[in-house]
Chain A
């Protein structure tokens, strides 16, 4: 079975939303900044509820914020 991981576009979406800070996103999503840092770096895969809350903050569909990609693709993107 192919190895896949959850990837995200949070950094890009924050940039597109007037350079929203991690703290601002954390406050809006109801979590700590530390959690946003971990999600953004791919160190933590959020629960479905938190993923929806983050997507809701950006006003984007879930698949625009998170994607389930092959591990090789993440390595290629750097």
Chain B
């Protein structure tokens, strides 16, 4: 398994872990049986806005740890260049990721149409962010293995 494949797998797993821990934290700190937040736009806006830097920071830390462990165990160097194949794979996986997010966005609008509380819309939006990230990583792995 090459470095890029391992990185995609690590990235997908870390996305799931970050979202899971963040969701557990939000649920246990604020939501646990408390329905006052279901219509609180300020709260949900900050939940999503805080999630973005949390994800970026956690991904950087996980990436550094992965690179160190990978270097120690396999003595494989991190590829110093990003060539045309890397760029095509990145473009295609980003496209898939964006399509997934677009679908999630429409789904979140549908929750409002069906008269569900705004909380459902924000949860659908957050979940679509997570799925978009995972689809991006899985697509990357798929294109590396199967070719473009």
Contacts and interface: CB of A to CB of B under 8 A. Distances in A.
Grouping DSSP codes into helix (H, G, I), strand (E, B) and loop, the A interface class, with mixed when no group exceeds half, is: loop
Nearest to A42: B147
B40 interface: no
A30 B79 CA distance: 12
Q: In the complex, which range does the number of interface residues on chain A fall in?
A: 10 to 19
Interface string A13-31: 0000000000000000011
Nearest to A29: B83
A30 B81 contact: yes
Contacts of B58: none
B147 A31 contact: no
Nearest to A37: B2
Contacts, number: 34
Contact of B4 (A34, A43, A46): A34
Contacts of A9: none
Contacts of B147: 38, 41-44
A31 B82 CA distance: 8
Given A38-B85, A46-B84, A50-B84, A32 B148 contact: no
Q: In the complex, which range does the number of interface residues on chain B fall in?
A: 10 to 19
A34 B81 contact: no
Contacts of A46: 84
Given A41-B147, A44-B147, A44-B148, A32 B79 contact: yes
Interface string B64-104: 00000000000000010101111000000000000000000
B79 A34 contact: yes
Contacts of A35: 83-86
Nearest to A43: B147
Q: Which 5 A-B pairs have the closest CB atoms?
A: A43-B147, A31-B83, A35-B85, A32-B79, A44-B147
13 contacts: A31-B81, A31-B83, A31-B85, A32-B85, A34-B85, A34-B144, A35-B83, A38-B147, A42-B147, A43-B147, A43-B148, A44-B147, A46-B84
